[in-house]
Structure 1
Amino acid sequence: MIDQRIVAAYEGMLGDVERITVPTRFGDTFAAAAGPVDGPVIVLVHGSGANTAMWRVGEWAARHRVYALDIPGEPGLSADNRLPMADHVDWFDDVLDGLGVREAAFVGMSLGGWLVLDYAQRRADRVTRLVLLNPAGLGRMRVGFALKAVFFKLLGERGLRMSLRAALGEVPPAQVEYLALVFRHFRPRTDVPVLGPLALTMPVLAVVGDHDAMLDGSLTARRLRAEVPHARVDVVDAGHLLPDQTTTALEFLEES
């Protein structure tokens, strides 16, 4: 069960968004929505240990209808039901159908990147464009980071904060306490498989941090360039927690 202290802190961070609950076969899904109801749809999908608060939804919504989804089983407001990875395709179908959305552009960060990549492979007719931010699944987690995480765990509260900085890179001070609260009471997924060969037809933008301590950004970039030659792949001076990519993503999503 998601710790209620995490839920309370998250509720305070949501801001001025429409709050929608979508029934699915896997339990209720929470969506933070904003923007004109007749605008082209963007679906935002966060990473593990996160929720829709990471997106600042209103900044995406000037000309788009935006739905930021809380992944089930993550520290948000959706059902506390961690799904097998392959079941997220049916979950996306249920959510889109429940929202009355036929097709959308998808933006995924880390775990969310894996989920939207897999969905785009299996439901290409429902994905108009794809934005991947340090996506998981194109290479294994770095072994060095896993060893560091074990060491930091031995250092208690100080180690927790060191681990956050090691995993994510530069963390804004305002987020440190919230992230520490989350990872004090929540265990991120470790069962994220490497995806097989990619066959994507829609326009794709990927932004990869070249100092990502968790994922092999160079391998991610190489795979995307080799297997999705039409993709735009930006490698930036950042770790796993990328600097704000909203403007870059929106410019890509609005290209004719």
Structure 2
Amino acid sequence: MTAIYRTEAGGQQVRERYVEALRAWPVPAEHRRVPTREGETFVVVCGPEQAPPVLLCHGSSTNTAMWISDVASWAQHFRVHAVDMIGEPGLSAPSRPPLDSEAYADWLDDVLEGLGLTQAAMVGASLGGWLALDYAIRRPHRVSSLALLCPGGVGRQKWGWIGKALLLKPFGLWGQRRTLRTVAGLDMAGAEGFLDGMALTFRHFQPRKEPLPVFPDDALRRLTVPMLVIAGDRDAMLDSRDTARRLAAAVPHATVHLLPGVGHSVVGQTEPILAHLRQATAPADAERR
């Protein structure tokens, strides 16, 4: 198995903190463990059983807990399936097949089959946005709509932030908090507990070093589903203006919002995403009625 933590003891600390965070899930939920070709995948499922399905894909170095502030609203209207991505600091298998392969689409095929889904809307952030795009391009019949926050794989990936992170590394917890604020754009008043949880993860977790594959224009042109993209214009990790430019040219039906003064961490978008998902599913809802 892939070693995604520096030590097993550190990995146990991260998992324990995550399990504790899941106790704050704001609506009744079921914890599912889905067998896949890449190993067991952990999924939090909530919302009305007969509602349209939505798959949530978190970002790199995070897990399903990132959706806690959004899910109560979304679960009123959708059957929400929040998936821990393999190879990330959640409760799924540590497997990390190459990103530039069919492996993640095959893995999601298994996840959807295990959840009893033939098709779903997808919401993804950063690496999770890349994952949703990759799946929509490779399996267009299985994705009904996309809502993406600072998605990878479109705009140019930036590397200057790594030097800043290394300069702050010797300063312990203060340096880790500072990195999260300046690089990821996490500068939320009263969010010290969240920042400390992320700092714990970065202390023990070994992030992916593999560059995100960039989708070519012809692949992006194959995206025909309703699509919402929200990114910050001060993203230190991804060139969000390049993302907007490429999507405008290749996916003209997509709605793209660049938020002024916002970095890589895009928060507070619960309602715009809900509105997009509801609009995208309106024809199907009308047909069911």
TM-score normalised to structure 1 length: 0.96
Secondary structure of 1:168's counterpart equals coil
Which ranges of 4 or more aligned residues in structure 1 deviate by more than 6 Å?
A: none
Shift of 1:18: 1.0
Q: Which residue of 1 aligns with 2:20?
A: 12
Q: Which residue of 2 aligns with 1:211?
A: 234
State yes or no: 1:244 paired with 2:264. no
8 A Cα contact 1:46 1:54, kept in partner: yes
- Residue in 1 that maps onto 2:39: 27
Q: Does 1:124 align with 2:136?
A: no
Instruction: Report whether the alignment pairs 1:62 with 2:76.
Output: yes
Contact in 1 for aligned 2:156/2:242 (Cα 8 Å): no
Residue deviations 1:202-244 (CA, integer Å, cap 9, x gap):
0100001111111111111111111100000011131111122
Separation (CA, whole Å) in 1 of partners of 2:140 and 2:34: 22
The C-alpha deviation readout for 1:134-179, integer Å capped at 9, x for no partner, is 0011133223212222322244433222211122112432311100
Give the aligned CA root-mean-square deviation in angstroms: 1.4
1:196 equivalenced with 2:212 (yes/no): no
In structure 2, give the amino acid aligned to 1:72: I
- Asked if residue 84 in structure 1 is aligned to residue 106 in structure 2, the reply is no
Alignment match of 1:137 (pick from 136, 148, 153): 153
Query: 1:36 is matched with which residue: 21, 27, 48?
Result: 48
Q: Give the Cα separation in 2 of the matches to 1:77 and 1:10.
A: 9
Q: CA deviation at 1:94?
A: 0.4
Contact 2:158–2:239 (CA<8 Å) still a contact in 1?
Answer: yes
CA contact (8 A) 1:72 1:83 kept: no
Partner of 2:203: 184
* Aligned equivalents of 2:166, 2:137: Cα separation in 1: 35
Measured in 1, the distance between the counterparts of 2:241 and 2:255 equals 14
- Please state if 1:175 is matched with 2:194: yes
Letter of the aligned partner of 1:188 in structure 2?
P
Q: Pick which of 214-223 and 51-60 moved more.
A: 51-60
Q: Is the 8 A contact 2:52 2:78 kept in 1?
A: yes
**Rounded Cα–Cα distance in structure 2 between residues aligned with 1:212 and 1:98:** 35
Q: Which runs of 5+ in 2 are unaligned?
A: 6-10, 283-289
Structure 1 residue 97 displacement after superposition: 0.6
1:52 is the counterpart of 2:64:
yes
Displacement of 1:194 in angstroms is: 1.7
C-alpha distance in 2, partners of 1:135/1:230?
17
Shift of residue 187 of structure 1? Answer: 1.9
Post-superposition shift, 1:63?
1.5
1:108 is paired with a residue whose SS is strand
Aligned to 1:166: 182
User: What SS does the corresponding residue of 2:56 show, helix, strand or coil?
Assistant: strand
Secondary structure at the aligned position of 1:229 is classed as: coil
SS at match of 1:140: coil
What is the distance in 2 between the residues matched to 1:71 and 1:184?
Answer: 20
Which consecutive residues of structure 1, in runs of 5 or more, have no partner in the other structure? none
State how far apart, in whole Å, the 1-side matches of 2:74 and 2:201 are: 25
Q: Which moved more, 1:46-55 or 1:147-156?
A: 147-156
The CA distance in 2 between the partners of 1:166 and 1:195, in whole Å, is: 28
The CA deviation at 1:245 is 1.2
- Residue deviations 1:59-93, cap 9 Å, x none? 32001100000001100010121222121100110
Following superposition, the deviation at residue 37 of structure 1 comes to: 1.0
